[in-house]
Structure 1
Amino acid sequence: MGLTTIRDIIAELNRQAAEHQAHRLLLIKQITTDPTYQASPAREVKRLQESSHWNGYSGSDSWRVFLNIPSTDVNSPQFSPAVSALVNQVHSNEASLSCIRARIDALSTFLHPVLRLPPEVLVPIFKLGSRMPQDDPILGSSTGPRPFPLVVAAVSRQWREIAIKTPDLWTNITIRHPRPYGWIPLCLERSRGQPIDITIDCRCSNLLTGPMVDHLLSVFMPHIHRWRRFALTSSDPATIYVVGARLADAHAPMLRHLQLSLNGSSGNQEVILHKILQGGAEALTSVRFDSLATPWDSAPLVNLTTLDLRWLWLQTRLHYEQFRHVLSASPNIRALILRGTYINLHTGRAYPPLSIPTLRYLEISGDHVCRMSSLLITPSLKELALANLDETEFREFVASLPLPNADGSGGRYPSLQSLSLLNASMCTPTKRFTRALPTITHLTVINSATSKFLQLFRKEHADTEDNELSWPHLRKLTLVDEVDYFLLYGVVRERAALDAPLERIVLNAPFIHDESLVATLEKFVEVDIVKGVDLDH
């Protein structure tokens, strides 16, 4: 009967190993009873006897024999020709056992559950892994990390075949090094015409200069018809201009997301590109510009669903009318990020409100948080993030929030569910603040006075009129900050007792150092630990 499974093959190899071992023991017995071997040094006899105690094949080196090799010294004991022949048989036997063990070890790796997963399960897992943030793709490096597709392709023959035959694994091309060797052409070949995502981050190496980026783009440009995402970050304005020249009249029919970021440059440097993608970018829906401006009211900045504008300085900052035209050109915008400086609003001048009925996510920061939030009418807003506020700005923002009516109408954000505060130097939040945003279910506090919020959630701060807790609908709490455990534990326990329990808490890494504290919280709520948060999302 033929062997049909790996387990059958391993069982047969173990049977052969047992036969070899039995024959080996017989040879050893013949050797050790020979007078010429018994005359050898006692230490060799002891080693031989210890090696003969073999109780079954275990894949270890316990079966190996250490035999005294006949010496050329005339005064040392000499084996008889018969014993020497037996010794050679033992060595041959052990060589066979080594081969059998190596085959068993190799086959046993296929018994691991993960290596028995079928391709239809592995392919989705590999695709998700390939979309994770990629390390520096330095092929040929013995010390640096390797890209995800190359890692999985090196696990086994099956995984390698799956990786090579799955084009989506090779579509996420990240460059952070001036010499990615064969990584780019390898991805372009193995992606087989699929849409590709390109990320070039020049901040990690001062060798990734404008001419080097221009060379990289010369390789990518013949494939611009399948660009799905292009993101460039640099601290050198010259590099941005190089990219701008390449993309000025280009046509990118599949491009969905475009990011051009002048980040971390010395002084308030900024870039103005007088035209970009004038050949057309019909699928473009998401744009991020840092310290960069283009013609705001023309293609390709039309029909966007995500607009991300950060740190627009004197020459690149929008005026109110420009900003209104940008919003008018994208009537279905769902996410708007305004960070740092972005729009020039003159002090003392009144501006008409801007209605964005489709907006779901809003992040604002800078000097005009209160004024911008008052200008934007966003009845469908689900998520609000406030970043880099000082205490004065936070007070002004809270004071500007109208209180909703008893029926829930009249508030600024009637549909708001998630509030995030990033690097906000705040005064102590008041009951008025929570009543102005009554629908909050998820609060994220990152470096923003966590203890002040926790105090607000304590039972003694409940509304005296109806004894209702602050934000009674709150279910998820994310705290990436210094946290007073006893204050947090009191909040969690009290809300559970008052039938307004939290369902999940996300804490920063220091909590993981005391598992007993986490365990006490887990009696009331699911607890997750994070070790870092990307504030440049």
Structure 2
Amino acid sequence: MNEASLSCIRAKIEALSTFLVPVFRLPQEVLVQIFKAGGRMPHDGPVTEHAVPRPFPLVVASVSRQWREIAVNTPELWTNVTIKHPRPYGWVPLCLQRSCGQPIDITIDCRSTSLLTAPVVDNMMTLLMPHVHRWRRFALMTSDPAIVYTIGRRLADASAPQLRHLQLSLSGSSGNQEVLLHDILQGGAEALSSIRFDSLATPWGSAPLINLTTIDLRWLWLRTRLQYDQFRDMLAASPRIRALILRGTYIYLHSGRTYPPLSIPTLRYLELSGDNVCRMSSLLATPALEELTLANLDETEFREFVDSLPDGRDGGRYPALRALSLLNASMCTPTRRFMLALPTISHLTVINSATAKFLELFRKEHAEDGLLSWPRLRQLTLVDDVDYFLLYGVVQERAALHLPLSRLVLNAPFIHDDYLVSTLEEYVEVNIIKDVDLDH
């Protein structure tokens, strides 16, 4: 009897000891903010060990009675409706119920499973369409054109007064798939400010694709690719555009033909890729541009782009540019002229783009009149194979010449030794990233 009593006492002590865990002593309002932040984070892999990833709100609601009560009574936690699998079967109606009329963000990602077929997605849209009036964001990613057409039929005459961002992305074999939607959101989407279309076209420059601030066009093939006049009219319909992304193939420019320049005075971010980067960069007049990204360039295209840049000492093409990103660019060795053409750079990001060539140019022996390249450079992000000793030399020399870097971002595969990090941290703040989403 004593042993049994002692066992019960120990079990009670163990149960009560859980309340000593710091996380269970956090105030409810703090937990609410943590849960909201977790609900907005992307979860690409399983949250638990189950074969089917469980949505974040369901995970936190299963931890304890207190957490479940907080989760169930926090409508904002259920507004991120991410669908990557038909299961759990009650997930969509549960979100629609517990979000309690709040604006909702919908993501349907069919790329990782064959179970999200067009009929299955159509059934889900039957549940979602009665709530279209409170959609804030809608994103579809698929490799099946039938699913895009299914969504297109649902959205053709719909009215989405709160919709701010629309993404319709069709991915697949190069040039083999593309979709034309003749009508979309004809009932009205007056709040729409951002779009992303992959391998998809719809009437450009007409409602609801007007007064946009972000336009993201990727991989427009034979039937969906814009002509110059279409592109010009689309830009004219959005006079306050701030971000323009043109990736892959997007606009057809006839070889040997001269086109009038297109002025975009409000543009702050520009991404160009493909085989006509040089022509597009010369065609667009962007005096207020602050961030420029060049992606998927071969060495010839990069050389032509550099040769087309005017001297930056008189303002150049990008007088306000502060951030340059290079993604998958096969570059010739950057020259001093390249640096002089873009003298205002303070943030440089290099992803799979010949990092060593840039670092060599930053070395002291390449300085002219005692001035290092890009004297305003403060943040350097390198997601590539990096020579540690070359990098350390650059960081040390810039600090000695009173042009120090303030932040260095490196990818985890490069830094595998804490000692290497500590030696760099003598001169600069070092941040390590584990992966990079090259699709965004």
Q: Same fold (TM over 0.5)?
A: yes
Residue 334 of structure 2: aligned partner:
429
Distance 1:160 1:479, change over 3 A: same
The amino acid that maps onto 1:99 is: C
Could you tell me whether the CA contact under 8 Å between 2:52 and 2:85 is conserved in 1?
A: no
SS of residue paired to 1:511: coil
Unmatched 5+ residue regions in structure 2?
Answer: none
| Greater displacement, 173-182 / 517-526 | 173-182
Structure ID, larger Rg: 1
Residue of 412, 426, 429 corresponding to 2:317: 412
1:496 aligns with 2:399: yes
Residue 358 of structure 2: aligned partner:
453
Residue of 272, 277, 284 corresponding to 1:369: 277
Distance 1:482 1:266, change over 3 A: closer
**Counting helix residues as a fraction of each chain, which structure ranks higher?**
1
Aligned ranges 1:344-423 → 2 under 5 Å? 344-405=252-313, 409-423=314-328
Q: Post-superposition shift, 1:130?
A: 0.6
Could you tell me whether the CA contact under 8 Å between 2:205 and 2:235 is conserved in 1?
A: no
Residue of 190, 198, 205 corresponding to 2:106: 198
SS of residue paired to 2:331: coil
Could you tell me whether the CA contact under 8 Å between 1:353 and 1:376 is conserved in 2?
A: yes
Residue of 104, 108, 120 corresponding to 2:17: 108
Distance 1:184 1:158 in 2: 24
Q: Post-superposition shift, 1:425?
A: 0.2
**Counting strand residues as a fraction of each chain, which structure ranks higher?**
2
Q: RMSD over aligned Cα, in angstroms? A: 1.5
Residue 427 of structure 2: aligned partner:
524
Distance 1:129 1:523, change over 3 A: same
- Cα-to-partner distance string for 1:17-44 (whole Å, 9 max, x where unaligned): xxxxxxxxxxxxxxxxxxxxxxxxxxxx
The amino acid that maps onto 1:459 is: K
Could you tell me whether the CA contact under 8 Å between 1:137 and 1:180 is conserved in 2?
A: no
Residue 441 of structure 1: aligned partner:
346
Residue 479 of structure 1: aligned partner:
382
Residue 55 of structure 2: aligned partner:
147
Structure 1 moving runs of 4+ over 4 Å? 135-139
| Greater displacement, 439-448 / 104-113 | 104-113
Distance 1:263 1:117, change over 3 A: same
The amino acid that maps onto 1:372 is: M
Residue 137 of structure 2: aligned partner:
229
Could you tell me whether the CA contact under 8 Å between 1:440 and 1:471 is conserved in 2?
A: yes
| Greater displacement, 103-112 / 501-510 | 103-112
SS of residue paired to 1:181: coil
Distance 2:53 2:117 in 1: 22
1:207 aligns with 2:115: yes
Q: Post-superposition shift, 1:138?
A: 10
| Greater displacement, 150-159 / 288-297 | 150-159
The amino acid that maps onto 1:153 is: A
Aligned ranges 1:266-285 → 2 under 5 Å? 267-285=175-193
Q: Post-superposition shift, 1:402?
A: 0.7
Q: Post-superposition shift, 1:362?
A: 0.5
Question: Taking structure 1 as the reference length, what is the TM-score of the superposition?
Answer: 0.80
Distance 1:136 1:523 in 2: 36
Aligned length: 440
Residue 2 of structure 2: aligned partner:
93
Distance 1:119 1:330 in 2: 44
Distance 1:489 1:136 in 2: 35
Could you tell me whether the CA contact under 8 Å between 1:511 and 1:529 is conserved in 2?
A: no
Distance 2:227 2:88 in 1: 41
- Cα-to-partner distance string for 1:178-217 (whole Å, 9 max, x where unaligned): 3331111111111111111111111111221111111111
Residue 410 of structure 2: aligned partner:
507
Distance 2:312 2:324 in 1: 17
Distance 2:206 2:388 in 1: 53
SS of residue paired to 1:513: coil
Could you tell me whether the CA contact under 8 Å between 2:328 and 2:351 is conserved in 1?
A: yes
- Percent identical among aligned pairs is 76
Distance 1:138 1:242 in 2: 30
Distance 1:327 1:255, change over 3 A: same
1:131 aligns with 2:74: no
1:320 aligns with 2:228: yes
Q: Post-superposition shift, 1:379?
A: 1.3
Question: Taking structure 2 as the reference length, what is the TM-score of the superposition?
Answer: 0.97
